Structure 1
Amino acid sequence: MGDKVIRTYLNFNSYDFRHRKVMEILSSKPRNKTELVVNAVLHYISCPEAADEFSKETMKRQIREVIQEMLADGSLTGLAAPPAAHEQTPENADDLSDMMAAFRGG
């Protein structure tokens, strides 16, 4: 009995940067596309961190780590603390409404 070939068709979204990157990679590999996809899927399934690679929390953690490393080695200096939030009080709310009225011409 011969090997049975199973065909699968993939649809990529050209508006998704990840899909575009994969399309570029597959387009540059005229042969062995199947092996590339097989290896990628098996790695994704066997590596729990791969599924979380682009999550918001993972990205935040990575950015924090990079900033801390840059602060530690001195390559990032002069970071100012974010400005304190301006407190809204009844007095400055009136000032703001007066200012907005002036802009509206009233």
Structure 2
Amino acid sequence: MAGKKDPGKFTLGLNMEDPTHRQVIDILNELGRRKAQFVVNAVLHYRYCRKTPEIPQPMPVDIHAIEEIVLRILKQQAASASESGVPPEQKKPPQKSESLHTEGMEALLGKDGLSAIANTLAAFRND
């Protein structure tokens, strides 16, 4: 490159969201000040060593395929439960707890801390 001010310097931006880029980012960050030699070796090896196998790439996650599988499994479970006569589990609403378990909290928060929490809860109940 004739117009480049310093032909030996490069800026390389990698995508933090891409898993393969993230892997390279982690490798390069482990190298410290040896990054330049590592990049030189990697480029020359890639260019001149044809015996190197393909680098395995992680398969992209297909959210729609996962959703379809989960829905199919849920339908199968519902069908098998209805065939066996066992009703599906009913979710019970959480019960409101009127009592607070404060064992050990006084030592952690102190009397003033517990009092502040109690006053805050009382203020919410009044609103």
Shorter-chain TM-score tier: 0.3 to 0.5
Q: Which of 1 and 2 has greater Rg?
A: 2
The TM-score, its normalising length taken from structure 2, stands at 0.35
Per the normalisation by structure 1, the TM-score is: 0.41
| Greater relative contact order structure (CA < 8 Å, 6+ sep) | 2
